[in-house]
A and B are shown apart, each in its own frame.
With several copies, the nearest count.
Chain A
């Protein structure tokens, strides 16, 4: 199994990709997933986090098969 990571809007453009598939081994939080996928790059300030399409914090627990998303402040409506 694995953990899916998704990026949206400006962050997607900055990273040059819309997602990553990560080996779940050793990933316990969204922060772990970010570090694995983006090496030493700091998470941009104000980035929002969702786990399984629900808002979550960087240190919430994630499991094998989860979908993690990182995105900038929303601007709809």
Chain B
């Protein structure tokens, strides 16, 4: 069970391969893994976006992601959970967030992955500032989905 704030590029597929090698070597208990990756788009609210700065509340983000994982582990039977979130400067196409859940069965994996992702988007203390062709702006609200 790991959550981490990254200041360097997030490479979701390499991170997943590494994590599985460490946590599941020789094990065949996980029948299902569900993964979500959120990536920076080059378009938001009709405007071209050239870059982004992701601010966060150090200390609170770590604690909040940790609590999300604990709460998910109470609600569903999970074998492992991995949550990675970028902060700092990002470019369009850069992955922002990875949520991965391993379980014996697929319903728990799907449900827990989605629940963590929705909670993270609505409650974890991160803020996006977008760089446009002219100037920059704070993102006002998250898309509902």
Direct contact of A and B (CB under 8 A): yes
B139 adjacent to A75 (CB under 8 Å):
yes
Is B57 touching A53 in the complex (CB atoms < 8 A)?
A: yes
- Is A77 touching B121 in the complex (CB atoms < 8 A)? yes
Contact call B54/A76, Cβ cutoff below 8 A: yes
The smallest beta-carbon distance between A7 and chain B, in angstroms, is: 10
Report which of B85, B123, B140, B142 forms a contact with A55, defined as CB distance below 8 A. Answer: B123
Known: A9-B55, A9-B138. A76 touches B60 (CB 8 A): no
Asked if B26 CB lies within 8 Å of chain A CBs, one says no
Residue contact A6 to B141, C-beta cutoff 8 Å: no
Cβ contact within 8 Å between B127 and A8: yes
Size band of the interface chain B makes with A: 20 to 34
* B63 with A76: CB separation less than 8 A: no
Contact in complex: A77, B124 (CB < 8 Å): yes
Cβ contact within 8 Å between B128 and A76: yes
CB of B57 within 8 A of CB of A77, answer no
A25 contacts chain B at the CB level, 8 A cutoff: no
B38 touches A9 (CB 8 A): no
For residue B49, CB closer than 8 A to chain A, the reply is no
Q: How far is the CB of B106 from chain A (nearest CB, A)?
A: 8
Answer whether residue A63 sits at the interface, using C-beta atoms and an 8 A cutoff: no
Q: How far is the CB of A30 from chain B (nearest CB, A)?
A: 14
CB-CB contacts of A14-54 with B at 8 A, as 1s and 0s? 00000000000000000000000000000000000010011
A-B CB contact pairs (8 Å), 19 listed: A8-B125, A13-B138, A53-B57, A53-B60, A53-B63, A55-B123, A69-B60, A69-B125, A73-B142, A74-B124, A74-B125, A75-B127, A75-B138, A76-B85, A76-B96, A76-B126, A77-B85, A77-B120, A77-B126
Given contacts A8-B55, A75-B138, A76-B56, 4 further A-B contacts (CB under 8 A): A9-B55, A10-B127, A74-B125, A75-B140
